[in-house]
Amino acid sequence: MAKDQENTFHFELVSPERLLMDMAVSAVRVPGAEGDFMVLPNHAPVMSTIRPGVLDVYEGEGKTPEQVFVRGGFAEVTPGTLVILAEEAVLVKELSKSNLKQKITDAREDLEDAKTDEDKRKAQEAIARLTELLTAVN
């Protein structure tokens, strides 16, 4: 086996919209439901739920990790692969703090203007989701 293959494993990040990542990586830090865990090559098999948080995806030693905000989902680890099925996944570098703050303000206004319980619930969910995204940018 080539040295590069010994130090990497296959990683897939799937959201309902699309396959976001499909690549060889050296490590991934996952926000597990019971705490963060690091997946490395030849990791023991594990299934875990994940909580909202940031994945750190390391493509190689010494490289800055790619950060991806995930909003819940599942992680399946085998010795040669990590597959994450995320409820939502967004590259952190694509998020704008000012844009998110404005969207939170708009969602709060929607909550104040809501006439039905359903409209209130939707506005509250939007505020919670946007606030989680904002924490990923900080």
Burial class (CB within 10 angstroms; exposed 0-12, middle 13-18, buried 19+) of 110: middle
Same-domain pairing of 47 and 112: no
pLDDT band of 125, cuts 50, 70, 90 = confident
* β-pair partners for 53: 70
Does residue 3 register a pLDDT over 50? no
| Domain coverage including residue 117 | 96-137
The verdict on 101 and 88 lying in the same domain is no
DSSP assignment letter at 34: T
Q: How is 51-118 classified by DSSP, letter by letter?
A: -SEEEEEE-STTSPPEEEEE-SEEEEEETTEEEEEES-EEEGGG--HHHHHHHHHHHHHHHHH--SHH
Q: Please check the confidence at residue 136 and state whether its pLDDT lies above 90.
A: no
How far, in Å, CA of 76 to CA of 82, rounded?
6
CATH number at residue 21: 2.60.15.10
Proportion of the chain above pLDDT 70, given as a percent: 96
Same-domain check for residues 106 and 84: no
* CA–CA dist 34, 118 (Å, integer): 31
Per the confidence metrics, is the pTM higher than 0.85? no
Region of residue 73 (phi > 0: left; psi between -120 and 50: alpha; otherwise: beta): left
Tell whether 45 and 67 lie within a shared domain: yes
Note whether 19 and 84 are same-domain residues: yes
The verdict on 15 and 82 lying in the same domain is yes
Average pLDDT of the chain? 89
For residue range 30-88, list pLDDT tens digits in order: 999 999 999 999 999 999 999 988 999 999 877 889 999 998 899 999 999 999 999 98
Average pLDDT over residues 110-135: 86
